[in-house]
Amino acid sequence: MSTRKDKFTKKDSFFMNLALNLARDRVGLTGDNPPVGCVIVKNNEVISIGQTGLNGRPHAEFNAIKSCKKNLKESTMYVSLEPCIHYGKTPPCSNLIIKSKIKKVIFSVIDVDKRNNGKSLKLFKSKNVIVKNGLLKKRGNIIYKPYIYNKSKNLPFVTGKLATSNDNFIYSKEKKRITNKYSDKISHFLRYKNDAILISSKTLNIDNPSLNCRLNGLHIFSPYRIILDRELSIKKNSKIYSTSSNNNTVIFYNKGNLKKIKLLKKKGIKLIKLPLNKNKFFDLRLVLKNIFFIGCRNLLVEGGKDLTNSFLKNKLFNKFYLFKSSNKLGIKGKLNVSSQLQQLTFKYKNRSNVNSFTGNDKIKVYS
């Protein structure tokens, strides 16, 4: 581990900030691997950078070393997370670092993966590579909060999202969009940053959403769509059904007729049958375990009133975005969520408010 004698300079902090920015840029886009940023420096000059590849491979250190056009001997590597030392689908990055004659490795956060977890320190020292850790650790831990949660709980990191009028309604037949276009763009950015998005069949059949990312250039990063549909009530004229292909849609169900099951499977929809609890609902923790098992590490829940309420009651949100319009719906409003908002205040006391770039809308982020 890093000792009290270890001293970091302002330049060290500058280069590590670059590495952490590269890691943050990849959050939600690296599958079951952590997002990592890497910066290689020689004579106070950045000679190469690397990020974890989309879907998790190649690793950031590999990308930085392989793309470098200069001699790496006597250089320093700044990396956001401890380099791996174990063999998986690819060889360990630590071997490549040692082979490249890099003189010093500085990383921010020790990997919680038991296969690594501080073991690189001993390895690097045995190969005469100077190694230090803990630089900008507080910021690093914020970036790796979802990854740490994944590893410790074997569950996806769950982000909730709800948009309400100023008088706490979430639905109106007369007004399709409650919040403004700026809030809408942030909502789509959240879809971009999550592996999958979860809704109930009730929301599906009322709103008929597409559940894709509609930011320019980011459509290919649209999340997997996951639907809780106890009796397979999904309609064939829904956008979700018509755009399902290549297993981009998962439905959790309890029962359904054989004809409907065959039809959905033929469309490329993955069906997962689960039992119901005594209240005739899905056990949400069991749902999350299955979602984790199929590869989702960051889940966005765009639920309606009931689904949001269930997640709140079971304390399953790790983070929550509340978009609140300045406009009131009054008698045109449906589905008041005042009680759910009170639960947010009580259960997620540490909150920060972001208001500046959303016009008249307000965003509260609970974590």
Active site residue ranges: 61
**Interacting residues of 160 by C-beta distance below 8 A, sequence separation 6+:** 300, 301, 303, 308, 311, 312, 317, 319, 320, 321
Tokens of 190: 């959240």
DSSP code, position 52: P
Are the CB atoms for 244 and 211 separated by under 8 Å? no
**Interacting residues of 9 by C-beta distance below 8 A, sequence separation 6+:** none
Tokens of 197: 């998005």
Concatenated DSSP letters for 82-103? PPP-S-SSS--HHHHHHHTT--
CA distance 99 to 73: 10
As a dihedral over the C-alpha atoms of residue 110, residue 116, residue 117, residue 122, rounded to 10 degrees, the angle is: -90
DSSP code, position 282: B
CA 29 to chain CA centroid, Å, is 8
First to last CA, the chain: 29
Are the CB atoms for 107 and 83 separated by under 8 Å? yes
Decide: helix, strand or coil at residue 108: strand
